[in-house]
Chain A
Amino acid sequence: EVQLVQSGAEVKKPGESLQISCKGFGYTFTTHWIGWVRQMPGKGLEWMGIIYPDDSDIKYSPSFQGQVTISADKSLGTVYLQWSSLKASDTAMYYCARHVSNSYGRTLDPWGQGTLVTVSP
């Protein structure tokens, strides 16, 4: 079964740094892009960026460029989302999802279970 498993919930203070992770199981990790999606409390889904784990090619959404860093360690089958200085407005649920591209089109599936990040003084 293809599965993405994310790291656990985090509670941080403004100004602190943070790295959350997403590990792939059940498929060849290096052959699919992995995307990150933010969902703020009570709000919709926002695409943050996407990484190709084999060569760490990264595309950021303009809204998140410079705000976060996406990286990957293909030897560990894991991608990361990192903040150098958190803000209260970073409080949200963060999902990773596998980008699948074939003759039918593009799909984000499956999704990780989500990592809740809470930033509070």
Chain B
Amino acid sequence: QSVLTQPPSASGTPGQRVTISCSGSTSNIGGNTVNWYQQLPGTAPKLLIHSSNQRPSGVPDRFSGSKSGTSASLAISGLQPDDETDYYCATWDDSLFGWVFGGGTKLTVL
């Protein structure tokens, strides 16, 4: 059971916009920024969004993040077949004094 709650799956058609949610509590998302990671099969997680809504250089602006209260969201617009993979949210937990992750969302591009 992950500390952060994500839907196990999401789907969309090419060109569509999809959002993935991440729900936490006051000790984690409520008091800290959120990171989103994309994990392609057989590879390490890659940082997609940091500081809740900032894209590292090289990440397309089709990816965006937001945070409100104890929840966060990742939005992917102009969906492409290559976007079909797993996505994880992560943040620091002040009570645990450590990192907490969502269970991951498998995105399918129909």
A residues apposed to B, CB below 8 Å? 35, 37, 44-47, 49-50, 59, 61-62, 95, 99, 104-114
Q: How far is the CB of B69 from chain A (nearest CB, A)?
A: 16
* Given A45-B104, A111-B45, A113-B44, A105:B52 Cβ within 8 A: yes
Q: How far is the CB of A38 from chain B (nearest CB, A)?
A: 11
Q: Check if A47 sits within 8 Å of B2, measured CB to CB.
A: no
Q: B residues within 8 A CB of A46?
A: 101
Interface positions, chain B 83-110, Cβ under 8 Å from A, are: 88, 90-92, 96-104
Q: How far is the CB of A47 from chain B (nearest CB, A)?
A: 4
Q: Check if A104 sits within 8 Å of B100, measured CB to CB.
A: no
A45, A47, A61, A106: the one contacting B45 at CB < 8 Å is A45
Across chains A and B, which 10 residue pairs bring their CB atoms closest together, nearest first? A105-B33, A104-B51, A47-B99, A111-B44, A45-B101, A44-B104, A109-B47, A107-B50, A106-B92, A105-B51
A44, A62, A95, A107: the one contacting B102 at CB < 8 Å is A44
A-B contact pairs, 22 of them (CB 8 A): A37-B101, A44-B101, A45-B45, A45-B88, A46-B101, A47-B99, A47-B100, A47-B101, A59-B98, A61-B96, A61-B98, A99-B99, A104-B51, A105-B32, A105-B33, A105-B52, A106-B32, A109-B50, A109-B56, A111-B44, A111-B46, A113-B44
Chain B interface: which size bin? 20 to 34
- Other than the given A44-B103, A105-B51, 17 more pairs (CB < 8 A) read A37-B101, A44-B2, A45-B45, A46-B101, A47-B101, A50-B98, A50-B99, A59-B98, A61-B96, A61-B98, A104-B33, A107-B35, A108-B47, A108-B90, A111-B44, A111-B45, A112-B44
Asked whether any CB of chain A lies closer than 8 Å to the CB of B66, the reply is no
Q: A residues within 8 A CB of B101?
A: 37, 44-47
In the bound complex, how far is the Cα of B99 from the Cα of A35, in angstroms? 9
B2, B54, B99: the one contacting A108 at CB < 8 Å is B99
Q: A residues within 8 A CB of B104?
A: 44-45
Chain A: CB-nearest residue to B104 = A44
Chain A: CB-nearest residue to B91 = A106
